[in-house]
């Protein structure tokens, strides 16, 4: 999505969901370092999900194991 001024974002939601994630460049949040934005997801089998989305072409900048 965009607003015609060179700004853009992506909205991600499940079909029929009442909420969504909005992904946008850090440049749109001037104080992002102070806010330290973060979000975490939970699933029962992270390795299976990772392989599933990877097989669909979804990339990841880093993968962390605990």
* 41 vs 17, residue with greater confidence: 17
In a domain, 3, yes or no: yes
In a domain, 8, yes or no: yes
In a domain, 5, yes or no: yes
Per-residue pLDDT at 18: 86
In a domain, 38, yes or no: no
CA atoms of 36 and 33, how far apart (whole Å): 5
Q: Is the dihedral of CA 58, 64, 65, 66 positive or negative?
A: negative
Per-residue pLDDT at 4: 58
Q: What is the pTM assigned to this prediction?
A: 0.43
Per-residue pLDDT at 27: 77
In a domain, 7, yes or no: yes
Q: How many domains does the chain have?
A: 1
Q: pLDDT by residue (tens digit) across 24-39?
A: 887 777 887 787 767 7
Neighbours of 18 (CB within 10 A): 6
In a domain, 35, yes or no: no
Structural domain harbouring 10:
1-28
């Amino acid at each position: 999505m965009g607003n015609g001024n060179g700004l853009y974002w992506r909205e991600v939601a499940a079909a029929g969901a009442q909420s969504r994630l909005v992904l946008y460049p850090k440049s749109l949040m001037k104080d992002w370092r102070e806010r330290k934005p973060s979000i975490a997801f939970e699933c029962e089998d992270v390795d299976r999900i990772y392989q599933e989305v990877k097989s669909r072409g979804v990339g990841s900048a880093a993968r962390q194991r605990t």
